[in-house]
Amino acid sequence: MLTLFHAPWSRSSRLVWLLEEIGAPYEIVYCDIARGDGTGARDSRNPHPDGKVPALLHDDALVTESAAVALYLTDAFPESGLGAPVGSPERGAFLSWIAWVAGELEPALWSKISGAAEGDAHAMARFDAAVARLLGALERGPYLMGQRFTALDVMAGSSIAWARDHVPASAALDAWIERITNRPANAASTVKDSPSPELSQVA
């Protein structure tokens, strides 16, 4: 059984989306977390060692951190076509992109959003390079891995959609965001992002 420990309107929201794309049965445990604005607190139900989200429990296996969870899920459910299996020609590129989202794209976006990049030539160059890499990939295909939608589009697309007002105007980026966020799985995940009396916690 897959159990996602998830805080509404957080980085774990994209893992709800990815689970919807995969289509395997899963359970959501809605957790509180300590947020940057001082609200919230660590939730004793959450098995993440740092009290953060996402945390995924698959039977007895615990996986934390967004990139690791995304990679774990695509490997566990190769039939979904959302990853690149071990030994496939795309494996190296897929691993590199997933690590890049966590290690380069997200820090670059946050430095721009927080204002830390202003007046910092290195930080601005990092941000510009991240945007340029995305645009270069989208010139080669409608998705970041080319002709097919993958977990990478979920991970990177959710970050760009969240930070859209801070990223330069681009018809290619806008078309990509619209293309991926209009998917039925994203609509389903938006409904499940936050608990409601009408919402079953078992997907």
**pLDDT tens column, 111-154:** 999 999 999 999 999 999 999 999 999 999 999 999 999 999 99
Burial label, 188 (beta-carbon count in 10 A; 0-12, 13-18, 19+): middle
Q: Which domains occur in the chain, in start order?
A: 2-82+185-192 (3.40.30.10), 91-183 (1.20.1050.10)
Band the pLDDT of 165: cuts 50, 70, 90.
very high
Asked if the model's pLDDT at residue 44 lies above 70, the reply is: yes
pLDDT at 36 (0 to 100): 85
Per-residue pLDDT, 195: 87
Position 100 pLDDT exceeds 80: yes
Express as a percent the part of the chain with pLDDT over 90. Answer: 94
Q: CA 7, CA 42: separation in Å to the nearest integer?
A: 11
In this predicted structure, the answer to whether residue 198 has a pLDDT above a threshold of 70 is no
CA gap 145, 163 in Å, rounded: 21
Q: What is the pLDDT of residue 110?
A: 95
DSSP class per residue in 23-80: ---EEEEE-----TTS-----TT---TTS-S-EEEETTEEEESHHHHHHHHHHH-GGG
- Give me the pLDDT at residue 201, please: 43
The mean pLDDT value for 35-45 works out to 92
**In angstroms, rounded to a whole number, what is the distance separating the alpha carbons of residues 6 and 69?**
12
pLDDT at residue 196 above 90? no
Q: Residues 5-27: what's their mean pLDDT?
A: 97
Section 175-199 average pLDDT: 89
How far is Cα 183 from Cα 50, in angstroms, rounded to an integer? 32
pLDDT (tens digit per residue) in 61-86: 999 999 999 999 999 999 999 999 99
Place 203 in a pLDDT band, splitting at 50, 70 and 90.
very low
Q: Please report which confidence band the pLDDT of residue 158 belongs to, taking 50, 70 and 90 as the band edges.
A: very high
Q: Are 54 and 6 in contact (CB under 8 A)?
A: yes
Predicted pLDDT at 167: 95
Residue whose token pair is 């927080």: 114
